[in-house]
Chains A and B, each alone.
Chain A
Amino acid sequence: MADGSKGKSTKEQKYDRQLRLWGDHGQDALENAHVCVINATATGTELLKNLVLPGKCSIKQNIKSPDISRFQIFTPDKLLDNDPEFFHRFSLVIGVQLEESTCLRLGAVLWNAGVPFLACRTYGLVGYMRLAVREHTVIESHPDNALEDLRLDQPFTELKNHVQSYNLDNMEKKHHSHTPWIIIVAKYLEKWYNEHNFQLPKNYKEKESFRELIRNGILQNENGVPEDEENFEEAIKNVNTALNPTKVRILTLEIFDGEECKNITSQTPAFWIMARAVKEFVESEGGGNLPVRGTIPDMIADSEKFINLQNVYREKAMQDALLVAKHVESLLQSVGKVHVILLFFYHSKNAAFLRVVHCRSLADEYSVESLNKDEITSCMDSPDCEMVLYLMLRSIDRFHQQHSRYPGVYNYQVEEDIGKLKLCVNSLLQEYGLNVNVKDDYIHEFCRYGASEPHTVASFLGGCAAQEAIKIITHQFVPFNNTFIYNAMSQTSATFQL
């Protein structure tokens, strides 16, 4: 991880473009994980390529070759029969183009062992992925469009003091025009509070008035013409988001309410200890708020004013981080784990974006009692929703169970299999009590596919699956939950929680 004092290693150069996404620690996690990929079909090899390229070296792959006797021992079914614990050592098992029975067996073994399982399948022009993991925690979720944490509605003491140090009415033009917009909004908010009973501007009308208030603060020249003060324009533009009330997101509150967060034991994983520590902070020193994030966006200002303001936020963030660390320490002590090596690091910027993903087991998805009927029937209100493709995949599996082959593999079978497949569809719907209509067109189409694995679809899915695998391994970015369907005919996709 040399920072360029001697130039970069070849490895750093090679992985430069992706290190900018998941960092050196993410890269380390990727290279050190053990992944098992079952079936190097077109989809499987694409997936393998997309894992090897970013640096995944330790991959165990099983090529299903029932024709060649000396490789038979490596079929997944044989392993499940003889040595299911073979799978326990992996950080992730990926099953490609698995038969339903094998998939379910493997799913059960992995669920019990707490090993994440990603099932992928290309069937004609349909791509399918299913993630099954009891609990997957993410500290670094890297949200795309997070709002800033400026605390203008609830300024902490140091921020208040810093704002106090400015006197906008008594500044030279060059300082006035280079005062950060955050200070400007804070100052005018004080004015507003005095005239509006300490209430934030709430609706559009009030925000407009507030913007006017700021606009009237722009310096004017001798002729009463407003000067060009870009920082004031920035303040006006940012009023909308700057006045958003500071609060803890629902997703985060849900984490705080989680069982694991409430019951800390000596077995509790690091993520939950940290979540609990943050929660305790929120409930005490934070006064209902998360630790300050500590970053501010760039804005028109002279260097000194900007850096000083940035430091106010940064120092507060560091103070809050120390307080959270104290909570972590006392939690660890309370369960007798004083000398534990923490496998995570705390960054104030992540506290607001912790995520936990729970993906149901395959067993739950397949059981008649716990099948997610509501999700399926409500999606099928639109009969061309991707959900119909899911039902078709379940149906062709049923077909395979009954006929030991997939429908329409040979041309002469296509016509005949349509009727047989329709029976499978109906029996599936009946068994699960699904009162939905599957259009005949889809039944015909799935016979047409003949269990083919076109390379374009395999490649699309291999790309998607590899990235989800990387998310699981690195615990960065948020994986899908829990069924992903890709429709290459319409170039659309959907994610369902089944």
Chain B
Amino acid sequence: MLETRSRFEVTQRRQMAVDSGHGDSTGDWDGRWNHVRKFLERSGPFTHPDFEPSTESLQFLLETCKILVIGAGGLGCELLKNLALSGFRNIHVVDMDTIDVSNLNRQFLFRAKDVGRPKADVAADFVNSRIPGCSVVPHFKKIQDFDETFYKQFHIIVCGLDSIVARRWMNGMLMSLLSFDDGVLDPSSIIPLIDGGTEGFKGNARVILPGMTACIDCTLELYPPQINFPMCTIASMPRLPEHCIEYVRILLWPKEEPFGDGTALDGDNPEHIQWVFHKAQERASEFSITGVTYRLTQGVVKRIIPAVASTNAVIAAACAMEVFKIASSAYIPLNNYLVFNDVDGLYTYTFEAERKENCPACSQIAQDLRFPPSAKLQEVLEYLTENASLQMKSPAITATLEGKNKTLYLQTVASIEQRTRPNLSKTLKELGLVDGQELAVADVTTPQTVLFKLRFTT
């Protein structure tokens, strides 16, 4: 009887510790980390060649190892939970978004009452209060708001982003942290990047060791291109309900400005979507097109990607597993790409993505730009945006001419765009560029400027 009661009390205490953060100063009750210890303190036949069983590894995880989680959404919530329950206690999380109702079907650290609050803050609060000893530091910011001094402090960075541009930026940032001694990569400057992505019932997880394995840009072609309908289809030859919606979004809204001058279309404003929906229906009936619904309208305007809890759980778990492997050296990490799909049964495919020899992000080789001297700057701009390996968004091109740094074209600042626009129709020769000239290109897809060498062709 006594024994039963004391066991019950132990269970109760455990419950309290989990629920209210009580317990000793580290919050570690007996046996708390047993499931983790077995992998840190026991030798085994499949461990990493560098692995040595030790009781100190757990201390490293608990006290020293610093992890950065990028994104506190579908993947981020799962990642924070997995890392915290695996012994990681020094975690930072960055997310620039606030919570939306449509997040609640999978971003389980959030409740209806949290709608409107920053994801990073709410996620951190939840984990800190539920997992004793864990310290998640939130940053309600964009990744671009931080520089090397911030990123340098982490042992491992794991991303649950929803944009390829952001991934490439992160990728570029970690490349910029690499240091070389006489052309040899200094391993201590490598911060492993674990990247996860999901879409409906599909997902992928990859391990990137900057400077060593394939990086995001090495495999840019793996990402499917975004669907943008041709303007002539939208403007005069719609066939699908999507075309009708895009017509309203791209052409009608700027023309009619239904909610006031200069008011941009806000995909999160139901009144805006309502307006687009009705106008799209009108357009559709003009052409006898069926299928325009509110749901479709919102999906097209916001470029919504369907999402469920289960896929995010799977991919985040795979990513967290890799964080653990790398932090503990317990096993050889994934080398280096996992694809998952559970539409029909469950399918995984694991392969080694290869590094691209002349990858613009990680090859340390200045890229060649081959153009005849009679080519116009416009052609160079188009190449930078359309080439499959570069896929830049709005590149700014500068060159050193007569000892001075000259901006040839820059899109993102209106006044400079206006001033440099005439350059687009000038030839490279007219601009004073010579064979072998170095061009520096800045773009939102990378934190550092990319250097190109101009090679004149005949």
Given contacts A303-B289, A478-B345, A492-B348, contact A466 B239 (CB under 8 A): no
- Say yes or no: B46 contacts A441, CB within 8 Å: yes
Stretch at the interface among B167-175, B302-310, B364-372, B415-423: B302-310
Least CB distance, B415 to chain A, in whole angstroms: 38
- Give the CA-CA distance A484 to B347 in the complex, in Å: 10
Q: Establish whether residues B294 and A463, one from each chain, have CB atoms under 8 Å apart when the complex forms.
A: no
Q: Contact size class for A?
A: 35 or more
- Shortest distance from the beta carbon of A392 to any chain B beta carbon, whole Å: 13
Give the CA-CA distance A301 to B287 in the complex, in Å: 13
Q: Are B342 and A467 in contact (CB under 8 A)?
A: yes
Q: Does A431 make an interface contact (CB < 8 A)?
A: no
Asked if B239 contacts A460 (CB within 8 A), the reply is: no
Complex contact A17–B314 (CB within 8 A): no
CB of A339 within 8 A of chain B?
no
Q: Which of B4, B233, B343 has the most CB of A within 10 A?
A: B343
Pairwise interchain contact A14-B105, C-beta atoms closer than 8 A: yes
Q: In residues 454-498 of chain A, which contact B (Cβ within 8 Å)?
A: 454-457, 459-460, 462-464, 466-468, 470, 477-481, 484, 486, 488-493, 495
Proximity bits, A221-233, B CB within 8 Å = 1, else 0: 0000000000000
Determine whether B324 belongs to the interface, using a CB cutoff of 8 Å to chain A: yes
Known A-B contacts A303-B238, A454-B39, A491-B348; A17 and B270 likewise in contact (beta carbons under 8 Å): no
Total contacts A-B at CB 8 Å: 222
Q: A17-B306, A456-B317 are in contact. Are A495 and B345 (CB under 8 A)?
A: yes
Are B35 and A453 touching (Cβ within 8 A)?
yes
Cβ of B346 within 8 Å of any chain A Cβ, yes or no, is yes
Residues of A within 8 A of B324 (CB): 456
Asked if A397 is an interface residue, CB under 8 A from chain B, the answer is no
Is A450 in contact with chain B by the CB < 8 A criterion? Answer: yes
* Chain B contacts with A in 201-248, Cβ cutoff 8 A: 201, 205, 233, 237-240
Knowing A13-B101, A14-B105, A459-B78, the reply to whether A492 touches B350 (Cβ < 8 A) is yes
Contacts of A298 in B (CB 8 A): 239-240
Known interface pairs A3-B294, A20-B306. Does A302 touch B237 (Cβ–Cβ under 8 Å)?
yes
Assess the B274–A17 pair: CB atoms within 8 A: no
Query: Which residues of chain B from 254 to 289 have a CB within 8 Å of any chain A CB?
Result: 270, 273-274, 277, 287-289
- 7 CB contacts below 8 A, A to B, read A4-B293, A21-B201, A50-B313, A68-B11, A144-B344, A178-B237, A450-B42
12 additional contacts (CB under 8 A) given A303-B237, A306-B239: A13-B102, A16-B298, A17-B308, A19-B295, A50-B313, A68-B4, A68-B7, A303-B238, A303-B289, A459-B81, A492-B350, A495-B346
Chain B residues close to A by CB (< 8 Å): 4, 7-8, 11, 34-36, 38-39, 41-46, 78, 81-82, 85-86, 101-102, 104-106, 108, 112, 200-201, 205, 233, 237-240, 270, 273-274, 277, 287-289, 293-295, 297-299, 304-314, 316-318, 320-322, 324, 331, 334, 338, 341-346, 348, 350
3 shortest A-B CB distances, which residue pairs? A4-B294, A463-B313, A460-B317
